[in-house]
Chain A
Amino acid sequence: MTFLSPWVLLIGAVAAAGSVLLHLVALQRPASYLLPTARFIPDRRTLVRRMATRPRDLLLLSLRVLLLLSAAAAFARPVLAPSRAPLARVVLFDRSGAVQSMEKSVTQLRPWLTDGVPTQLVLFDSVAVVARDAAAELEALSLATSRTAARDSLRASSVGSLSAALVAAGRLGPVLAADADSVQLVIVSPLASNEFDAATDSIRAHWRGGIVIARPTSDSVASVAGTVASTLERALSPDDPLAPALSLVRVASSPTSVRLRRSALDARDTAFARSGGTVVRWDSASGAPAGATALAMGDDVVVATLGRGRSPAEGATIARWGDGSAAASEVRIGAGCIRHVAVGVPLAGDLPLRGAFRRVAQGLMAPCSGNRASGPADDLAVARLRGPEGLASAERLADPAQRPHPLVPWLLGIALACALGELVVRGRVAPERA
């Protein structure tokens, strides 16, 4: 147990000493002395102020001293201070679509979780989730053989939010600071530019220390380059309703390329996928529009009159209808993947012009393993995120509302009882002195 305001204890001790002193010099009834000529003494007061060698009214004094010390101890803010570790750590692990290789990210993550430092793992994409058990989470991530298996399918194409992750870190910091001298913040992320937002810098400022950035090697975010025309093998007729929509979609370039098929796949498509390409089978007969419906992919939701084809029977769902059924799925094959999309696009209307649909379409047409719509963050943003060197000290992260010691209410109760007892005892002592 320690005290957050030890100076209050000092004040209480001084007040208690003062109380003892007052009991020594307080007005006291002097010793009785039979004096036949007492009548010649002027009749004034019956109490005199004198210094005694032993305090009188020991019970009253004890109550007053106990009252002062109890109240001082209570107001000195005693807190439970378990054995403190020199270092604690918060690791923000990016599992958003910006991560190209989950295996490499996990490799980057592993040393931070296995070096014996108490660590809180935060998994973040568009939202941040604090892992209950970092070791178990690491195990789960390690066992995942595919990115889609390791992540929630709907999150696979989501945009990571560093702000959300930093908010989670900011909340975990004081908790860890209660048991450690310093807290280290580590971000394991490729740090795509779209993971920064307007609030990131201000939220970052709340972390009173430097941040260690661990970017997965060779997992740099693919730059936005190329266009659909250059990398997307399309076989779209001019009157295909997807044509206007995809004409506005920018697809990131990658070592692999994307092939769109509006009909059944053949052996070449399978070979293409196995060699690392992305084959998107977007059936032209995906059903006639039956009315307004919602399509969700990642954080993007499109509400429009869309046709609903037969839900994909296999693979990881990457887009869902409003009722939860799968609207698109992805199946890993070889080094690439085959993506099945059962979304019918109306021929008429402004749907291709809507930003949400374009982002959904972009996600559906993205290369395997995620949305590559954003490039790496610039060095300046990363430097701002990294901040100054050094760890965040526990004092700077300490939550002002620390856990009070359970003794506090008892101390206050004792003080209250002493105050009441003091009243009673004082009432008894006063008549005796009169």
Chain B
Amino acid sequence: MTAGPYGGLLDAVRGVRWPAARRVAGATLGAHASKLRGNSSEFSEFRPYRQGDDPRRVDWRLLARSDRAYVRLTTDRATLRTAIIIDASASMAFPLADLAKWGRAREIAVGLAAVAHAESDPVGLAIASDPPFVLAPRARRSVLVEMIRALDGTTPRASAPLAPFVTSARAPRVVLVTDLLGDLEDMVAAAKLRIASGGEVIVVHVVSPDELDPPGGALLAVDPEHATTRRTLDGAARAEYQRAFFTWMDDTASMFRAARIRYFRAETPEPAAHVVRRIAGDAGDAGR
């Protein structure tokens, strides 16, 4: 397998750890702290023996010294299934010249998948496109290649909702790489449900500089997903547009924080590896 254009990215994120934000419930031995206490060698604490505990876990040395029965507890490590959902609607095909948003979104998805896969986590991919593409989380070695192939074979177009993918994702950790210009409210509602059930939802908001500051001069801005939305962007409207757009982004970030959705804004000039490190590092901080 060759990583192709993603080679540099994969090299850049090699060694990055992406710990789970909370203890995971998985039983498969992995890299993330598990909710389960078991027989691993990683000592955690002593607990007084209770009826029903396995007598083999009693620390006999401590019993001999203190004449009290304590059970030796250890921390288990588990894997964390991760589903990456990428928005492939027409709004991601921007700017038309180089499709920078889509390109950066693909790199972020591949980078996160590579980081998760390096920790032996099963990684899955869902492309919200028409028709949709879903790759269930797998830990096999070829999963990254399959993801890259699927992403490279997709052209963003039309409009597909993200909420169904959030709802149906078979992974406790869900990453959404999107520009949030689709079904935002439905997606947030689905994310809240997932978080309430113990899951983790990460939103990577991909923004182009041309969206923050559109090209100068008068333009007839046409929404690629809703062709009927045609607005004139000239001098006076530009300031109002920027004010409205930034306000919307701030409100959206606040809404995500309130819903305990981890939110990252990724502007396309920012290297994907840097974005991946931000997300992984922030997760580490949250885990601590």
Which of A33, A36, A40, A43 meets B91, CB within 8 Å? A36
Which of B220, B223, B224, B237 meets A29, CB within 8 Å? B220
Q: Is B3 an interface residue (CB 8 A)?
A: no
Q: Is A313 an interface residue (CB 8 A)?
A: no
Q: Is B36 an interface residue (CB 8 A)?
A: no
A192 → chain B, closest Cβ, in Å? 87
CB neighbors of B among A16-63 (8 A): 29-48, 50
Q: Interface with A: B38-46, B191-199, B225-233, which one?
A: B225-233
Question: Are B218's CB and A38's CB within 8 A?
Answer: no
Question: Are B211's CB and A30's CB within 8 A?
Answer: no
Question: Are B220's CB and A36's CB within 8 A?
Answer: no
A27 → chain B, closest Cβ, in Å? 10
Question: Are A30's CB and B234's CB within 8 A?
Answer: yes
Q: Which residues of A contact B27 (CB under 8 A)?
A: none
Question: Are A47's CB and B232's CB within 8 A?
Answer: yes
Q: Report Cα–Cα, A29/B230, bound state, in Å.
A: 11
Question: Are A44's CB and B219's CB within 8 A?
Answer: no
Question: Are A33's CB and B219's CB within 8 A?
Answer: yes
Q: Is B240 an interface residue (CB 8 A)?
A: yes
Q: Is B76 an interface residue (CB 8 A)?
A: no
CB neighbors of A among B233-267 (8 A): 233-234, 237, 240-241, 244-245, 248
Question: Are B248's CB and A50's CB within 8 A?
Answer: no
Q: Which residues of A contact B119 (CB under 8 A)?
A: none
Q: Which residues of B contact A31 (CB under 8 A)?
A: 217-220
Residue of A whose beta carbon sits closest to that of B245: A40
A49 → chain B, closest Cβ, in Å? 9
Question: Are B220's CB and A33's CB within 8 A?
Answer: yes
Question: Are B240's CB and A46's CB within 8 A?
Answer: no
Which label, helix, strand, loop or mixed, suits the secondary structure of the A interface? loop
Which of B210, B215, B230, B248 meets A38, CB within 8 Å? B230
CB neighbors of A among B56-115 (8 A): 90-92, 94, 96
Question: Are A38's CB and B221's CB within 8 A?
Answer: yes
Q: Is B29 an interface residue (CB 8 A)?
A: no
Q: Which residues of B contact A34 (CB under 8 A)?
A: 94, 96, 221-224
Q: Report Cα–Cα, A43/B223, bound state, in Å.
A: 13
Q: Is B214 an interface residue (CB 8 A)?
A: yes
Question: Are A36's CB and B231's CB within 8 A?
Answer: no
A54 → chain B, closest Cβ, in Å? 15
Number of interface residues of B (CB under 8 A): 33
Question: Are B231's CB and A41's CB within 8 A?
Answer: yes
Question: Are B240's CB and A35's CB within 8 A?
Answer: no
Q: Which residues of A contact B248 (CB under 8 A)?
A: 40
Q: Is B200 an interface residue (CB 8 A)?
A: no
Number of interface residues of A (CB under 8 A): 21
Interface-central residue, A37, A39, A42, by most chain B CB under 10 Å: A37
Q: Which residues of B contact A36 (CB under 8 A)?
A: 90-92, 94, 179, 181, 211, 223-225
Question: Are B231's CB and A43's CB within 8 A?
Answer: yes
Question: Are A41's CB and B241's CB within 8 A?
Answer: yes
Q: Report Cα–Cα, A279/B94, bound state, in Å.
A: 125
Question: Are B222's CB and A32's CB within 8 A?
Answer: yes
A213 → chain B, closest Cβ, in Å? 79
Residue of A whose beta carbon sits closest to that of B246: A40
Q: Report Cα–Cα, A41/B218, bound state, in Å.
A: 12
Which of A33, A45, A50 meets B221, CB within 8 Å? A33
Q: Which residues of A contact B225 (CB under 8 A)?
A: 36
Question: Are B240's CB and A41's CB within 8 A?
Answer: yes
Question: Are B222's CB and A35's CB within 8 A?
Answer: yes
Interface-central residue, A39, A41, A42, A45, by most chain B CB under 10 Å: A41
B64 → chain A, closest Cβ, in Å? 71
Question: Are B219's CB and A30's CB within 8 A?
Answer: yes
Q: Report Cα–Cα, A44/B235, bound state, in Å.
A: 13
Question: Are B181's CB and A44's CB within 8 A?
Answer: no
B156 → chain A, closest Cβ, in Å? 10
Q: Report Cα–Cα, A43/B224, bound state, in Å.
A: 16
Q: Which residues of B contact A46 (CB under 8 A)?
A: 220, 230-232
Given A29-B220, A40-B245: A35 and B232 interface contact (C-beta under 8 Å): no
Q: Report Cα–Cα, A86/B11, bound state, in Å.
A: 99
Q: Which residues of A contact B181 (CB under 8 A)?
A: 36-37, 39
Question: Are B223's CB and A39's CB within 8 A?
Answer: yes
Q: Which residues of A contact B229 (CB under 8 A)?
A: 38-39
Q: Which residues of A contact B219 (CB under 8 A)?
A: 30-33, 35
Question: Are A38's CB and B237's CB within 8 A?
Answer: no
Question: Are B245's CB and A38's CB within 8 A?
Answer: no
Residue of A whose beta carbon sits closest to that of B95: A34
Residue of B whose beta carbon sits closest to that of A30: B218
Q: Report Cα–Cα, A47/B219, bound state, in Å.
A: 10
A41 → chain B, closest Cβ, in Å? 4
B206 → chain A, closest Cβ, in Å? 10
Q: Report Cα–Cα, A40/B252, bound state, in Å.
A: 14
Question: Are B222's CB and A41's CB within 8 A?
Answer: no
What would 12 more interface pairs be, CB under 8 Å, given A30-B232, A39-B229?
Answer: A30-B219, A34-B94, A34-B96, A34-B221, A34-B224, A36-B91, A39-B223, A40-B248, A41-B241, A46-B231, A47-B232, A50-B217
**Chain A to chain B contacts (Cβ below 8 Å), 10 pairs:** A30-B220, A31-B220, A33-B214, A33-B219, A33-B233, A35-B221, A37-B181, A39-B181, A41-B244, A42-B231
Per CB-CB distance, the 7 closest pairs between chain A and chain B, nearest first, are A36-B91, A41-B231, A38-B221, A35-B221, A30-B218, A48-B218, A33-B219
